[in-house]
């Protein structure tokens, strides 16, 4: 296979972890007989500094010619003013909107070797393997809003259409059908009109998936169950804001944000792939960042956009083997135990990838 991938390393530790993702892709290409080419493009704070915009026209043009996008991270203290008219996060939101990346997939898998690193009792994490499907282009993040300005009020609008909910629900039901056939749909239908629409639309889609067990869970109850009994969940479907919050909560189950990948897909399976951690400016440039979330994002890129399932599984198996061998970065190491740097951890994974 030939594929062209745009990399947008972004800010903070983004360039470091994306570089490791490219190393993995190059090894996969050599091992399985593929040809991957890469174009690096500016996004986020570095793009603001260079060109005055978080999403330059050149970056959009590059992405439009790509088979997939591999993103590092955007943002940092330099651009932290939430009232600034131009902010790094606008670049990421712009990509999602431009390519209609409506379905965000965030797997949360607990590795037995790391169960002791999570703040929950290890027995609560036995068998935890959750796939979050977060609707990504609607909700309060994209609804009508008004800044305070010189007045005394401001507002953001939580809005959904039936079609927006239905297409995200189809992705979630199809994923559940290939897993344990359980789907939890998260809403706040007891309070919010938009969430009552959400529940009705999900129920309509459920009629086409009679083999999948559907439950509706209020968002506050879901937050509690994720801590008390996370193994009850298989696939979790949520709107943009609730999904954003719940997936960050669920990240603690894995012991570190540095373990969790994500994929943002459109109807044609074109996708943007990124670790869910931030730019971590406190460790940027120090070879301390955990590359696993990015490497697992690369596996998702191969699986969903390039349809290379065997290659994706090979990467995931190599990560599993590296962890089982005792390889740890600082964020997942026992207190006082030796830790590998970003490149050395990737070296270990490459060893098991072969």
Kind plus residue range of the DSSP H or E element containing 36? strand 35-40
**What is the Cα–Cα distance from 319 to 322, expressed in whole angstroms?**
5
| Cα–Cα dist 260/251, whole Å | 7
Query: Nearest to residue 276, comparing CAs of 53, 87, 105, 24?
Result: 105
Q: CA-CA distances (angstroms) from residue 299 to 109, 263, 317? A: 14, 10, 10
Give the DSSP H or E segment for 293.
helix 292-300
DSSP 184: E
Contact residues for 295 (Cβ-Cβ < 8 A; gap 6+): 20, 21, 24, 261, 315, 319, 346, 349
Q: What are the backbone angles phi and psi of residue 237, rounded to the nearest 5°?
A: -105, 130
Render 57-105 in DSSP notation, one character per residue.
HHHHHHHHT-SEEEEEE---GGG--TT-SS-THHHHHHHHHHTT--EEE
DSSP 108: E
User: Beta-carbon neighbour count of residue 256 at 10 Å?
Assistant: 20
Enumerate the active-site residues: 141, 188, 220, 244, 248
- Residue 88 CA to residue 284 CA, distance in Å, equals 17
3-state class (DSSP) for residue 159: coil
Burial of 156 from C-beta contacts in 10 A (0-12 / 13-18 / 19+): middle
């Amino acid at each position: 296979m030939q594929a062209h991938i745009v990399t947008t390393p972004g800010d903070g530790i983004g360039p470091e972890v994306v570089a490791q993702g490219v190393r993995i892709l190059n090894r996969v290409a050599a091992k399985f007989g593929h040809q991957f080419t890469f174009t690096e493009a500016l996004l986020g704070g570095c793009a603001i500094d260079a060109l005055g915009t978080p999403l330059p026209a050149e970056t959009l043009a590059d992405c439009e010619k790509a088979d997939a996008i591999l993103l590092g991270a955007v943002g940092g203290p330099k651009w932290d003013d939430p009232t600034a008219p131009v902010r790094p996060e606008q670049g990421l939101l712009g990509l999602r909107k431009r390519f209609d990346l409506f379905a965000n997939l965030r797997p949360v898998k607990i590795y037995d070797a790391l169960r002791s690193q999570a703040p929950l009792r290890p027995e609560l994490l036995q068998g935890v393997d959750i796939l979050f499907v977060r609707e990504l282009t609607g909700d309060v993040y994209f609804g009508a809003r008004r800044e305070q300005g010189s007045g005394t009020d401001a507002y953001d609008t939580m809005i959904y259409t039936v079609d927006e909910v239905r297409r995200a629900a189809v992705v979630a039901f199809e994923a559940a059908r290939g897993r344990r056939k359980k789907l939890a749909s998260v809403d706040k239908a007891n309070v919010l009109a938009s969430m009552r629409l959400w529940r009705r639309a999900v129920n309509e889609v459920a009629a086409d998936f009679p083999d999948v067990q559907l439950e509706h869970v209020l968002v506050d109850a879901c937050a509690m169950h994720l801590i008390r009994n996370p193994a009850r969940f298989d696939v979790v479907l949520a709107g943009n804001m609730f999904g954003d919050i719940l997936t960050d909560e669920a990240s603690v189950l894995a012991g570190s944000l540095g373990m969790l990948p994500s994929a943002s897909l459109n109807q044609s399976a074109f996708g943007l792939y990124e670790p869910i951690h931030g730019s971590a400016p406190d460790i940027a440039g120090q070879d301390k960042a955990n590359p696993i979330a990015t490497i697992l994002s690369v596996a998702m890129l191969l699986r969903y956009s390039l349809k290379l399932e065997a290659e994706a599984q090979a990467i995931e198996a190599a990560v599993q083997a590296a962890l089982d061998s005792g390889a740890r970065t600082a964020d997942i190491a026992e207190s006082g135990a030796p830790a590998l740097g970003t490149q050395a951890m990737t070296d270990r994974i490459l060893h098991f990838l072969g």
